[in-house]
Amino acid sequence: MFNNKLLITFLTVFSAIFFSAEVFGFSNTADSGWKASPKLAEALMKQRPETNYSEQRVPKYTLPNPLVLSDGTKVTNAGTWQTKRRPEILELFRKYVYGRAPIDKPKNMTFKVFDLDRNALDGLATRKQVTVNFTGKKDGPKMDILIYLPNAVKKPVPAFVILNFGGNHTIHPDPAIKLSENWMRPGSKGVVKNRANEESRGRGRARFPVEKILKRGYGLATIYYGDIDPDFHDGFKNGVHPVFDKLIDGERKPDAWGSIGAWAWGLSRAMDYFETDDDIDNKRVAVLGHSRLGKTALWAGARDERFAFVISNNSGCGGAALSRRRFGETVERINKSFPHWFCENFKKYNGKEDDLPVDQHMLIALIAPRPVYVTSADGDLWADPRGEFLACKNAAPVYQLLGVDGLGVKQMPGLDKPVQKGTIGYHVRSGGHNLTQYDWQQFMDFADMHFVTMGRN
Ligand code: GTR
């Protein structure tokens, strides 16, 4: 009797505290997740009044269900996902978003290791530089892969592959890295008339903690994205497009691949090389990218199942963020600013996101059951952090169907509180649009967990 009374009193007091906490907004349970800074949102809205930075103005939307076939049948087992729904979704992304790249690897492609130093970086690493010639022809398009592998670890080693924005020589001051001779975006140190000079060597090293990566037992491979396709709209006359495009009556089709499609295709060609290199564990290669190259990493990992782990850093619209939220950058904005990134069909969805047969949670679902890690940054509202989180959350049912844990949380985590319990990792970090040491640290922690299990298989 006495115990019951005590229990009732306790419950009453507890629920009163909990209720008032909810009402007055000081509950940790209800409010601990990340929220966009209202001040920042307001400032950004002043800069770009046409852009929505307010959660209240996110329209009501319904996401397409990744676990329902286009004929309405529910997908209830892994077999149906793998043989029917996955190919269906992949095709939708090819047709309406990124465009169609050649499926087979180029017949006459060659790999030439033009630099091999087993005593690089004071003995810490083996450095290789490899030219991938896509057509095998002297004047055909080529890309150079710069590879550092840790010497202290038994080969083959797991590795990260990442496209870079400034040329391979910008990721580290190592004087032996070949200086890129290709077209460069203007406006950065050491770039004159769209060409790099010695001043740009090591310029981007803050984003590439090479020594740290090597000391943790991982290799790092990187490629200048402009080797595959220079990042400006020239009607697809340069890079790999003119060589591999299939024209109909001299015209590109509305589902022909854009630049993101080409960059992702280039990453698959790097994987073709890794498969020939005995020092690299090609079953444990993580593909990683920042921003537009984060969009690219997701698409590369979605279309090529050889990538064991996929990482999208601050990828935003056309990457990890849900398009239907229309928060920050929108489909219309991105297609207008970067008409060469996606396929022509994607432009039909400018301002008509609800008509898209896919949304970006389905891109993440295509990676299942392989580990994927998505990041956002507190100051990067243009990329819609919440939209990036929600895409992960809505991809999780596919992971669960395939027998692995999804995201492990239902609510957006707090700032700098990485979620790494499941097979989908996520964090929103302090700071702005960038790829930081903090991000790398999380990727390596997550890779440690997942690659160890894979290594045992
Ligand atoms: C922005 C673009 C984003 C993002 C970024 C980047 O201008 O709007 O989608 O990709 O560029 O790649 O740096």
> 40: closest CA among 430, 434, 330?
430
| CB of 88 shorter than 6 A to ligand 1 | no
Q: Which two tokens stand for residue 151?
A: 């010497």
Q: What is the pLDDT of residue 161?
A: 99
Strand ranges of the sheet holding 309-313, from the earlier edge strand across to the other edge: 110-120, 125-133, 142-150, 219-224, 157-164, 280-290, 309-313, 372-377, 424-429
Residue 292 C-alpha to ligand 1 middle, in angstroms? 5
CB 75 within 8 A of CB 67: yes
Return the ligand 1 atom nearest residue 295 CA. 10
| CB of 313 shorter than 6 A to ligand 1 | no
Residue 291 C-alpha to ligand 1 middle, in angstroms? 6
| CB of 333 shorter than 6 A to ligand 1 | no
Return the ligand 1 atom nearest residue 317 CA. 9
Residue 335 C-alpha to ligand 1 middle, in angstroms? 11
CB 417 within 8 A of CB 427: yes
Query: Tokens 């444990």 appear where?
Result: 284
Tens digits of residue pLDDT in 231-259: 999 999 999 999 999 888 889 999 999 99
Rounded to whole angstroms, what are the CA distances from 59 to 45, 56, 97, 346, 403? 17, 8, 22, 20, 33
Residue located nearest, by CA, to atom 10 of ligand 1: 292
Please choose from 232, 338, 341 the residue to mutate so as to test ligand 1's pocket, defined by most ligand atoms within 8 A of CB.
Answer: 338
Residue 425 C-alpha to ligand 1 middle, in angstroms? 22
CB 66 within 8 A of CB 398: yes
Angle, CA 438 vertex, CA 173 and CA 398 arms, to 5°:
120
| CB of 291 shorter than 6 A to ligand 1 | yes
Q: What is the pLDDT of residue 372?
A: 98
> 201: closest CA among 159, 146, 239, 119?
146
Q: What is the pLDDT of residue 5?
A: 55
Residue 232 C-alpha to ligand 1 middle, in angstroms? 13
Q: What count of other Cβ atoms lies within 10 Å of the Cβ of residue 54?
A: 13
| CB of 292 shorter than 6 A to ligand 1 | yes
Return the ligand 1 atom nearest residue 433 CA. 13
Residue located nearest, by CA, to atom 12 of ligand 1: 292
Q: What is the pLDDT of residue 455?
A: 56
User: Cα separation of 406 and 199, whole Å?
Assistant: 45
| CB of 317 shorter than 6 A to ligand 1 | yes
| CB of 171 shorter than 6 A to ligand 1 | no
| CB of 384 shorter than 6 A to ligand 1 | no
User: Cα separation of 77 and 398, whole Å?
Assistant: 10
> 226: closest CA among 148, 141, 303?
141
Residue 165 C-alpha to ligand 1 middle, in angstroms? 12
- The residues assigned a catalytic role are 291, 433
User: Cα separation of 33 and 40, whole Å?
Assistant: 17
Angle, CA 336 vertex, CA 35 and CA 267 arms, to 5°:
80
Strand partners for 248: 251
3-state secondary structure the chain: CHHHHHHHHHHHHHHHHHHHHHHHCCCHHHHCCCCCCHHHHHHHHHHCCCCCCCHHHCCCCCCCCCCECCCCCECCCHHHHHHHHHHHHHHHHHHHHHCECCCCCCCCCEEEEEEEEEEEHHHCEEEEEEEEECCCCCCCCEEEEEEEEECCCCCCEEEEEEEECCCHHHCCCCCCCCCCCCCCCCCCCCEECCEECHHHCCCCHHHCCHHHHHHCCCEEEEEEHHHHCCCCCCCCCCCCHHHHCCCECCECCCCECCHHHHHHHHHHHHHHHHCCCCCEEEEEEEEEEECHHHHHHHHHHHHCCCCCEEEEECCCCCCCCCHHHCCCCCHHHHHHHCCCCCCHHHHHHCCCHHHCCCCHHHHHHCCCCCCEEEEEECCCHHHCHHHHHHHHHHHHHHHHHCCCCCCCCCCCCCCCCCECCCCEEEEEECCCCCCCHHHHHHHHHHHHHHHHHHHHC
Q: What is the pLDDT of residue 234?
A: 93
Rounded to whole angstroms, what are the CA distances from 18 to 11, 283, 413? 10, 49, 20
Intervals of the chain under pLDDT 50: 1-2, 7-9, 11-29, 456-457
Please choose from 329, 381, 384 the residue to mutate so as to test ligand 1's pocket, defined by most ligand atoms within 8 A of CB.
Answer: 329
Residue 99 C-alpha to ligand 1 middle, in angstroms? 19
Q: What is the pLDDT of residue 27?
A: 38
Tens digits of residue pLDDT in 267-316: 999 999 999 999 999 999 999 999 999 999 999 999 999 999 999 999 99
Residue located nearest, by CA, to atom 8 of ligand 1: 334
> 94: closest CA among 292, 401, 386, 366?
366
| CB of 294 shorter than 6 A to ligand 1 | no
| CB of 334 shorter than 6 A to ligand 1 | yes
